A and B are shown apart, each in its own frame.
Chain A
Amino acid sequence: MMIFMVLIPVLLLLGLVLIVIFTKNMKRTRLKKKFHRNFIFGYLLLLLLGLVVAEVMERKVEHQNPPKVNVEDVEFDLPAAIIEGTPIPEKFVLAKRSHKVKGELVIPSFTNAYLLIERTPDNSHTITETVYTPELMANIGDENDVYYDVTERLESALPIWESNLMTVPKQPLNNIQYTFYHDSNILNQFTGEKTYGYSSGSVSRSMTIHLIVPESIVLKLPELENEYGTYIDVIE
């Protein structure tokens, strides 16, 4: 606060001095009054041209705002839903496969994915695999909790099965870039458009693999180094 107390008057004074010097100089450089008129109208014309270009580009340039989701959807707890068996929206399912495995299942260490293993008491040799998409939702300066669902843009690599070995390949780096345009809040007082704050955030979840493994199959899991590295959960 105290900084503003000094800063604002200083800025105002500086601006005053600059604008005075600038206008004085402009008057002195013997610009004819016609120059100013032409300059102003030229500028307006240019801006109008900008408006037309923007209108056209907005239609021509292929762009579609990603779907908006409410905060409740953002907070959808996928692992809990899997464990509790509550219905999971279809859109989260990336792949559903089953694999025949005899004896043991070896899973080497991997990164950037979450593995949930559910044991079933049957003696079959079939492992049911459901891969759920990674997820990314972004809140861009929106004070209301409305998120853009940009999941579609994420890429993921499915696990690779070779007889009794499941490797989760190194996941592609998902570096999502967005350019976001909105008019100043001040201008949108009566347009019904939301106001934007300066906060932003995103909610993301890595790819989730859900395996239903019969108890007859022995699991050989990598050793977990520490608690934070827990990316494999086994539900007994």
Chain B
Amino acid sequence: MFTTQWSVNELAKRQYLFKLSTNGAVFTTLIVLQIIGTIFISGAGSTFMNDWGEGITFNFTSISNDGQVGLTLFWALIVGFLLTSAAQRNESFSFVTNRLTFQLANFYFICTAALLGGVTTVLLGSVMKIVALFGDNIIIETTGLLTSPLDFFSRILVMTAYTLLLMMIGYLLGTLIQFSKLFIVLFGLIWFMYFTFGINLSVGEGESLLYFYYGETSILLFILKVVVSVSVLFGISFFVTNRLEVRNP
């Protein structure tokens, strides 16, 4: 007879802790990426030069954490994808779980990773600022934590939100591909169509997809949009994975 009864919450929590302890490398990868990125970027800040031939030349070196932002988002997409691998699934199913707790644990893990991505990227801004402060004639456009703490935390929020979104997109792509390899063909086709028929996704276009998030000026609406998007992405992943057979060669 049954001797053990777990609640979904309790088990999701334990699966999450298990995921954390087995996937330390995921976080370490981010850190190594960020460190390497920071070294490269700060070694070669983009320099612009203006020479008007009047004996006056103006050079400036622009330093920002754009590079780290890009790397972190890139990492997010790939990690989201990797979490759906068969190995990850088999590891979890070696212990007590069902598909719901497995997915919830994945989701908690993704949230944790997104938070780490958000916090580290914003903090890397201050590292880049230190690099800038060693330069000549400094112009600093970004206020620090003490000057405007709310801005500082809004940066963390925004970065975390975008990291979370990209991870969930990667997670959904991975889930669909795990479900059927035919999705690879479909995604390839969509990608091709996108470039051939030029569905515009670029920033600044009032109706583009990116602008839906990026153009939002109200922080509450932005949070709402992200929460709804993440729920939809997770919902689809959940629906697909809930019928997935595991340990099935």
A148–B62 Cα gap in the complex (Å)? 14
**Given A19-B78, A50-B126, A202-B50; A136-B195 close (CB under 8 Å):** no
Partner among A23, A43, A112, A153 whose Cβ is within 8 Å of the Cβ of B54: A112
Are B192 and A40 closer than 8 Å at their CB atoms?
Answer: no
> Using a Cβ–Cβ cut-off of 8 Å, how many residues does chain A contribute to the interface with B?
78
Q: A20-B82, A54-B129, A138-B60 are in contact. Are A176 and B137 (CB under 8 A)?
A: yes
Which segment, of B7-15, B141-149, B233-241, faces chain A? B141-149
Residue in A closest to B132 when the chains form the complex, CB atoms: A181
CB of B162 within 8 Å of the partner chain: yes
Asked if B167 is an interface residue, CB under 8 A from chain A, the answer is no
Query: Once the chains bind, are B154 and A190 in contact (CB under 8 Å)?
Result: yes
A binding-site residues for B, Cβ under 8 Å: 1-2, 4-5, 9, 12, 15-16, 19-20, 22-23, 26-27, 31, 33, 35-37, 39-40, 43-44, 47-48, 50-51, 53-55, 57-58, 61, 63, 65-66, 111-112, 134, 136, 138, 140-141, 148, 150, 153-154, 171-194, 196, 200-202, 204-206
The complex places the Cα of A167 from the Cα of B114 at a distance, in Å, of 66
Q: Does B140 contact A (CB under 8 A)?
A: yes
Smallest CB separation, A203 vs chain B (Å): 9
8 A-B pairs in the complex with CB atoms less than 8 angstroms apart: A31-B24, A44-B119, A50-B123, A136-B58, A171-B55, A178-B138, A184-B68, A193-B143
Q: CA–CA, A106 to B22, complex, Å?
A: 85
CB of B50 within 8 A of CB of A58, answer: no
Contact A22 B32 (CB under 8 A): yes
How many residues of chain B get a CB closer than 8 Å to chain A's CBs? 80
Contact B24 A36 (CB under 8 A): yes
Minimum CB distance partner of B69 in chain A: A184
User: Which residues in chain B, 109-141, are within 8 Å of chain A measured between CB atoms?
Assistant: 116, 119-130, 132-133, 135-141
Tell me which of B56, B57, B122, B198 contacts A187 (CB under 8 A). Answer: B122
Q: Which residue of B lies closest to A114 (CB)?
A: B54
- Give CA–CA (A187, B119) in the complex, Å: 11
Q: Decide: B158 and A178 in contact? CB cutoff 8 A.
A: no
User: Which of B25, B57, B125 has the most chain A CB atoms inside 10 A of its CB?
Assistant: B25
Most chain B CB within a 10 A radius of its CB, from A9, A57, A153: A57
CA distance A111 to B54 in the complex (A): 8
Measured in the bound complex, the distance between the Cα atoms of B126 and A202 in whole Å is: 28
With a cutoff of 8 Å between Cβ atoms, the chain B residues found around residue A27 in the complex are: 25
**In angstroms, how far is the closest chain B Cβ from the Cβ of A13?**
10
Q: For the complex, give the distance between the alpha carbons of A55 and B146 in Å.
A: 7
- Encode contact with A along B202-227: 1 for CB under 8 Å, 0 otherwise: 00000000000010110100100000
Closest to B136 in A: A177
Q: Which residues of B contact A31 (CB under 8 A)?
A: 24-25, 28
The answer to whether A173 and B61 touch across the interface, beta carbons within 8 angstroms, is no
A179 touching B132 by the CB < 8 A rule?
A: yes
B29 within 8 A of A: yes
Give the contacting residue for A200; candidates B22, B60, B222; CB below 8 A: B60
Does B164 have its Cβ within 8 Å of any Cβ on chain A? no
CB distance from B120 to the nearest CB of A (A): 6
Nearest 5 Cβ contacts at the A-B interface: A36-B24, A179-B135, A54-B126, A181-B132, A47-B123
Tell me whether B139 and A187 are in contact (CB under 8 A): no
Q: Does B65 make an interface contact (CB < 8 A)?
A: yes
Assess whether A63 is in contact with B138, with CB atoms less than 8 Å apart: yes
- Cα separation A64 to B65 with both chains bound (whole Å): 21
Which residues of B lie under 8 Å from residue A26 when comparing CB positions?
A: 25, 28-29
- The CA of A193 and the CA of B151, in the complex, are separated in Å by 9
CA distance A35 to B28 in the complex (A): 9
- What string of 1s and 0s marks CB contacts (under 8 Å) between B39-71 and chain A? 000000100101010111111111111101100
Q: How far is the CA of A4 from the CA of B191 in the complex (A)?
A: 11
**With A36-B25, A138-B60, A174-B57 given, is the CB distance from A51 to B123 under 8 Å?**
yes
